[in-house]
Structure 1
Amino acid sequence: MHDHRLQPLLHDLVSTVLAPTTALSGADGQIRPAGVQGLFHADARVLSEARLLVDGREAEPIGHAVPGPGVSRFVSLARWLGDRSPDPTVRIDRVRRITPGAMDEEITLASTAADPVACTVTLALSCDLAPIEVVKSGGAAEPLPPVVAGGTPAWHSGGTRVTVRSDAEVSGAGLRWDVTVAPGERVTLRWGASVEDPEAVVAAPPGPREWSRPEIEADDARLVRLTRQSLDDLESLRLTETAAPGDTFLGAGVPWFLTLFGRDSIWAARMLLPLGTGLAAGTLRALARRQGDKVDPHSGEAPGKIMHELRRHEFAVEGNGLRLPSAYYGTIDATPLWIALLHDAWRWGLPEAEVAALLPTLEAALGWLAEHGDADGDGFLEYIDTSGRGLANQGWKDSGDAVRFRDGARAEPPIALVEVQGYAYEAAMAGAALLEAYGRPGAERWRDHAAGLAERFRARFWVDGGYPALALDRDKRPVDALTSNIGHLLGTGILTRDEELRIAQVLKDPAMSGAFGLRTMSSSDAGFSPLSYHCGSVWTHDTAIVISGLARSGHGDLAADLARGLLSAAETFGYRLPELHAGDDRALMGQAVPYPAACRPQAWSAAAAVAIVHALVGLYPDVPEGRAALRPLPGAPLGALAVRGLRVAGEPVEVTVDGSGKAQVTGLPAGVSLAG
């Protein structure tokens, strides 16, 4: 028997989101006082129960849908009411709408019974105001006593206040309606809850979304459905800082990470660049404001470093010793990724003045690469948590057992991750290009830095088997596990064409690509488990990054196969791809198996749909140079595709790819021409 708390499972819950507010319920719409169910605002649970009963009984659920951002619909039956016949005659539709800081529901009882139907509807409510980290660790808080004021229940603690609105009779902490439904008629009941939370550090952006919503026609209808749902989810994850509401970024994911998350927010904004540069600009500025300016071992801060995550207070997960300060910098990759995002946004047409305003942040970030990111001076970026209370692993695979040798042994820090060296190379070259373009000194220094890094990488990382190691450990030994991390090197520039080919061939092996996407670890490695968080599962964003790299480096066959895997997984998950799913072989069950604690929706998983579309159409603009390349995947492996509403320098662009793979682009902005 377990004597420790377990993180609540998520895979069978329904998320209704419009950041920073989220409702998590069962598939029947009920919010029960168990696990992670509840209404959350920012990083606190503001309702821990909203359970609907009809005559003291729960109705029988028959279906649910998420028709748009912030909306869910649940359908159930009350078969003990109405006519005695095989057909149900009393139906209940529960429509939930989330707006920032509020949840509203309409509960409609419809009857086709021959006689009037009388019943009592009650809604049990409770509130515990549990912090998200307590819920995540499997803990709970005691329900707060309600205060009935103005005829409605309310709860408050500190600066947070939760107030219920309804057209019902108040019964203790709950609501009650006495209902009679005439034959062929319906009755609609209404209630809602509002949150006042002046201490929240994130809020809803005041303006419209910062990216276009393209129209897509595709032979593979799954691509259309996935993109539609993903764009809805991305819209629901928009956030801004309460202290700086002008800059929008994407919250990483529901429910644990609905906040500014350096790596996640950057990758999501990068994947969305084909739809416009506005989100990238907001993300870059939000992180630039919090760029490190001092050395602080407790928070991981260092001069020039980009932050990892932002909370209202210390994030302490009971049972594992993790205690992260409200602004935590324990990430090795957010800084080079920030540089790469600035560079890519510039190429896609981010206005010159906005780029220029971020150049001081760029120079400081480049300085971190050389001065603080390489703690032991060996020429590689590496990490170690010296506080004893932060993340032991500080790449995107940040679980404690994520960095393993092929025999399953864990690597000891400091650790230099393979993909981070690719990011660092790309960042140095990107920084050089930006410095040169804006007439600032240092371009040659960073080109030389990149060249030296590539030489050292080539000498130290490649292992027997013809692929780069996952990492170097504290003794500078190659950690020889075969992992998806090496796919992130594709397109960074650190590899030769022959090396890119070798990596593509290794990733093509069924041990890596035999699941519904790319496995995080080879099924031939001793540490492999299909339900491991980072050692055998399939992460949506990870696969999408590799698809993009394969497309850019000319390996379209594997890119297409991995895209097919994600599209098949999307069918399983109602086209709302989760953070990750199990790495079981495609033939095992014929569909993807959930990872039961995966966040959904999640920003970089939703953005992966745009990355797949972009890889298929292959539009690569360079606005500063006045040119664009068009390199779709050869042979249109997923069929014909037309995308209207991409954005280059703010202008709408259309790309079509016919069934043979021939592509055309129209609408490129003035001064940008298609390269031959």
Structure 2
Amino acid sequence: MAKLDERHLDPAVALAMLGDAAPRNPHRQFALKHSDCFIVTDDYGDIRGRGDGLFRDDTRVLSLFRLLIGDTEPSLLGASLSQDNIIFTANLTNLPLTPDGGAPTPQGVIHIERSRLLWDDRMYERIRLSNYSAHDVELPLSVRFEADFRDMFEVRGSTRSKRGRAFDIEIEADHVKMRYEGLDRLERQSTISFSIHPSALAADRADFRLDLQRRDSLSLFIEVGGDHGGTPSRERHRAAAAKARWQMRAKRRHGANVHSSGRVFNDWLSRARADIALLTTDLPTGPYPYAGIPWFSTAFGRDGVISALQMLWLNPGLARGVLSFLAQHQATETSMFSDSQPGKIMHETRKGEMAVLRELPFGRYYGGVDTTPLYIYLATAYAKRTGDLSFIDLLWPSLNEAAAWMENASRQDPCGFVSYARAAETGLANQGWKDSFDAVFHADGRIPKGPIALVEVQGYAYAAYAGLADLAALKGEDAKAAHWQACAESMRISVERHFWMEDRNFYALAIDGEGQPCQVRASNAGHLLYVGLPSPARAQLITDQLLSAAFHTGWGVRTLPDDELPFNPMSYHNGSIWPHDTAICAAGLARYGARDSVVRLMSGTFEAAVHFNMRLPELFCGFTRSPSEAPVAYPVACLPQAWSSGSVFMLIQASLGLEIDGFASEIHVTRPRLPIGIDQVSIRRLSVGNVAVDLHFQRVGDRIVAYLDPRHEGLAPLIVRS
């Protein structure tokens, strides 16, 4: 059995176990992904085995990949990703070279361009070498490589008492094959092939002596895949790039597109849309946004649902894919190891060796208390957005089973709440979105005894019941509609009665297994606003505090205010800023009419994105914003992360006050606002019923005017409320 600390979901804690192997700043790392294969490298394009690598099906199939010139690391000029996330490029140059018996080559006369992409579980790389010196150069170039075939959880810090066996490395004239047979009897292999035969090829390096004529260039093509697959070449590289770009363009055409009058703001929109497309994997059930690279590049229930909710107004097809996948993998049996019960919705799935061997429960794991109500809520929101009752009919048995699981869970709690306690020690101690080991606590810092009822989970359950009641009424199932409406109202009353802290004018973070509230103010309460549970008076009190300096740093909303005892702006969940959390809180504020405050939150989030090169990380540190200072990165955040990328679209919808009634095929706009400095926003190809329209928002004096493109007037009713 593998040793896995319960803190493994906090990457900073788990990877500290790796010492020198811990990864560097994620904003100097670059990721590519295709299907279930992804690569993370530094800005040189190198893999150094520090949490980076080439991964396939949760296994690291390349743990070292470094380019050297004369056994020396070249000098970095710059690195970038193409706008569509398909091509990584590093520009490098040589340090001084003094070959044996030849003239020295000065620094900075050899340009080295590394161009890389992934396609069909294969890495394609072109190394283009250009000689700008006045003399011919014999260039000594080396590629060093290793494949440790470690499971993703090993890379993250888990230790195993036993591993499979590595075979002797097979060396041919133009390629090297590395093989490993896991304890699961599955053979995994990695083959590195070269377009030019190396002058020397060993088990861990390829050496070349390349003749570069002055003012001339040549290219070395390298491929890394499961098998040899053919000799790398310019034609193979170009063909793979063309296929990858065509597929990415097709993904980005799905749904509506947002464009503004602000050039830099558009860069943010474009990068966020490209990142969501990068992370979205086409599964047999439809598109599914994987959570994030590198640690969570797989299907997560909670992350998939929230990402789909963020994109629902623009691309409901993403929600349909998420719902289809989760329905197909709904639990049908009780298992303590996988934390499953009939009707429960999956939290996480993995394909690596440790998951297959059940050394860990994450092959298909159900230890997420919020995924089931969120799944139901997404289905009800999808129905309202699209009017697609035929799809809901297909989901109806699954939705009923999920609701039955919620009700059964509530019956186990004295107050009728949906609570959690891990069924086995191998599972997660905390099972809400703040799932690190210390994310739930009492005001004095004590870790509470389970089962734990989180405040936001009860809000999700309330919204799930209310949405099901509406759907049941539409389907003519009046008894179910009345029952679920009663469940929703009962949940609302219980939350207001048991979670509200009268002395702090806020909702408690959780209620523990002894019925005692964890009297802590946290951003979780903002999720109650998102689903509309609080009374207007209490919603105003929550809004005021979320926007106060204790919570709001100027960059976003902290997960924990700075006056709570365990506050630490550098922690994973206890004072950091998660863009998706800020966006959900903002959508909650908008629901209660605080749309100007949404604009304020969007402004801070946008300015943070600018400092992060337009790509918001999974989280960043919760330090208060100071003049002339940038937000502080969290050292091992996922980048990109689906629900961080989707945050901008949830913020835009909240500021525009835009809702679509799919049943009536109507567009509703309520008290719209535009981001600061933006005078015009257009949503193109917005689907409403069976038509697609272009919708525009224009600043006119101190008013925001919403109107349909003249070509589309009359296609869908636009109802605007000032």
Checking the alignment, whether the CA contact within 8 Å between 1:210 and 1:278 is kept in structure 2 is no
Give deviations 1:588-636, integer Å, cap 9, x for gaps.
Answer: 7711111112111111111112212222333201111333211254465
Residue 656 (str. 1) matches residue 696 (str. 2): yes
Deviation at 1:403, TM superposition (A): 0.7
Q: Which moved more, 1:664-673 or 1:123-132?
A: 664-673
Amino acid aligned to 1:482: R
Residue 265 (str. 1) matches residue 304 (str. 2): yes
Residue 20 (str. 1) matches residue 36 (str. 2): yes
Amino acid aligned to 1:24: V
Q: Report the counterpart of residue 209 of structure 2 in structure 1.
A: 178
Q: Which moved more, 1:160-169 or 1:86-95?
A: 86-95
Residue 674 (str. 1) matches residue 719 (str. 2): yes
Q: Report the counterpart of residue 5 of structure 2 in structure 1.
A: none
Checking the alignment, whether the CA contact within 8 Å between 1:214 and 1:643 is kept in structure 2 is no
Residue 8 (str. 1) matches residue 22 (str. 2): yes
Amino acid aligned to 1:422: G
Deviation at 1:653, TM superposition (A): 3.1
Q: Report the counterpart of residue 8 of structure 2 in structure 1.
A: none
Aligned partner (choices 320, 327, 340) of residue 281 of structure 1: 320
Deviation at 1:586, TM superposition (A): 0.7
| Structural RMSD (CA) | 2.9
Q: Report the counterpart of residue 45 of structure 1 in structure 2.
A: 60
Checking the alignment, whether the CA contact within 8 Å between 2:301 and 2:346 is kept in structure 1 is yes
Distance 1:397 1:75 in 2: 39
Checking the alignment, whether the CA contact within 8 Å between 1:425 and 1:493 is kept in structure 2 is no
Checking the alignment, whether the CA contact within 8 Å between 2:47 and 2:65 is kept in structure 1 is yes
Deviation at 1:650, TM superposition (A): 6.1
Q: Report the counterpart of residue 376 of structure 2 in structure 1.
A: 339
Amino acid aligned to 1:168: I
Amino acid aligned to 1:368: W
Q: Which runs of 5+ in 2 are unaligned?
A: 1-14, 181-185, 229-243
Aligned partner (choices 509, 514, 535) of residue 470 of structure 1: 509
Give deviations 1:441-492, integer Å, cap 9, x for gaps.
Answer: 4011011111111111111111121111111111222211111111111131
Give deviations 1:177-202, integer Å, cap 9, x for gaps.
Answer: 322223332211110111379xxxxx
What is the correspondence of 1:66-81 to structure 2 with a 5 Å cutoff?
66-67=81-82, 68-80=84-96
Checking the alignment, whether the CA contact within 8 Å between 2:706 and 2:720 is kept in structure 1 is no
Distance 1:115 1:664 in 2: 65
Residue 93 (str. 1) matches residue 113 (str. 2): yes
Identify if the C-alpha distance between structure 1 residues 40 and 622 changes in structure 2 by more than 3 Å, giving closer, same or farther: same
What is the correspondence of 1:374-413 to structure 2 with a 5 Å cutoff?
374-413=411-450
Identify if the C-alpha distance between structure 1 residues 469 and 302 changes in structure 2 by more than 3 Å, giving closer, same or farther: same
Residue 237 (str. 1) matches residue 279 (str. 2): yes
Q: Which moved more, 1:214-223 or 1:70-79?
A: 214-223
Distance 1:407 1:14 in 2: 41
Amino acid aligned to 1:73: T
Q: Which moved more, 1:77-86 or 1:114-123?
A: 77-86
Q: Which moved more, 1:601-610 or 1:172-181?
A: 172-181
Q: Report the counterpart of residue 682 of structure 2 in structure 1.
A: 643
What is the correspondence of 1:481-492 to structure 2 with a 5 Å cutoff?
481-492=520-531
Q: Which runs of 5+ in 1 are unaligned?
A: 198-203
Q: Which moved more, 1:563-572 or 1:578-587?
A: 563-572
Amino acid aligned to 1:181: L
Checking the alignment, whether the CA contact within 8 Å between 2:286 and 2:325 is kept in structure 1 is yes
Distance 1:563 1:487 in 2: 15
Distance 2:76 2:387 in 1: 48
Give deviations 1:18-75, integer Å, cap 9, x for gaps.
Answer: 232211111211112x321211112000111111111221101121111122321111
Distance 2:359 2:513 in 1: 22
Checking the alignment, whether the CA contact within 8 Å between 2:115 and 2:126 is kept in structure 1 is yes
Residue 251 (str. 1) matches residue 265 (str. 2): no
Distance 1:509 1:422 in 2: 23
Distance 1:669 1:395 in 2: 45
Aligned partner (choices 640, 646, 649) of residue 601 of structure 1: 640
Deviation at 1:79, TM superposition (A): 3.6
Distance 1:668 1:343 in 2: 29
Identify if the C-alpha distance between structure 1 residues 545 and 159 changes in structure 2 by more than 3 Å, giving closer, same or farther: same
What is the correspondence of 1:14-163 to structure 2 with a 5 Å cutoff?
14-32=30-48, 34-67=49-82, 68-80=84-96, 88-137=108-157, 145-149=168-172, 151-157=174-180, 158-163=186-191
Q: Report the counterpart of residue 220 of structure 2 in structure 1.
A: 189
Q: Report the counterpart of residue 238 of structure 2 in structure 1.
A: none
TM-score by length of 1: 0.92
Identify if the C-alpha distance between structure 1 residues 634 and 272 changes in structure 2 by more than 3 Å, giving closer, same or farther: closer
Q: Report the counterpart of residue 201 of structure 1 in structure 2.
A: none
Checking the alignment, whether the CA contact within 8 Å between 1:636 and 1:657 is kept in structure 2 is no
Give deviations 1:240-287, integer Å, cap 9, x for gaps.
Answer: 45xxx2422111111111111100011111111122221111110111
Amino acid aligned to 1:461: F
Identify if the C-alpha distance between structure 1 residues 291 and 16 changes in structure 2 by more than 3 Å, giving closer, same or farther: same
Q: How many residue pairs get matched?
A: 662
Distance 1:454 1:552 in 2: 17
Identify if the C-alpha distance between structure 1 residues 322 and 597 changes in structure 2 by more than 3 Å, giving closer, same or farther: farther
* Secondary structure of the structure 1 residue equivalent to 2:313: helix
Distance 2:363 2:412 in 1: 24
What is the correspondence of 1:306-385 to structure 2 with a 5 Å cutoff?
306-312=345-351, 323-349=360-386, 351-385=388-422
* Secondary structure of the structure 2 residue equivalent to 1:231: helix
Checking the alignment, whether the CA contact within 8 Å between 1:260 and 1:310 is kept in structure 2 is yes
Distance 1:588 1:479 in 2: 35
* Secondary structure of the structure 1 residue equivalent to 2:92: strand
Deviation at 1:76, TM superposition (A): 1.1
Q: Report the counterpart of residue 518 of structure 2 in structure 1.
A: 479
Distance 2:16 2:68 in 1: 34
Distance 2:348 2:23 in 1: 23
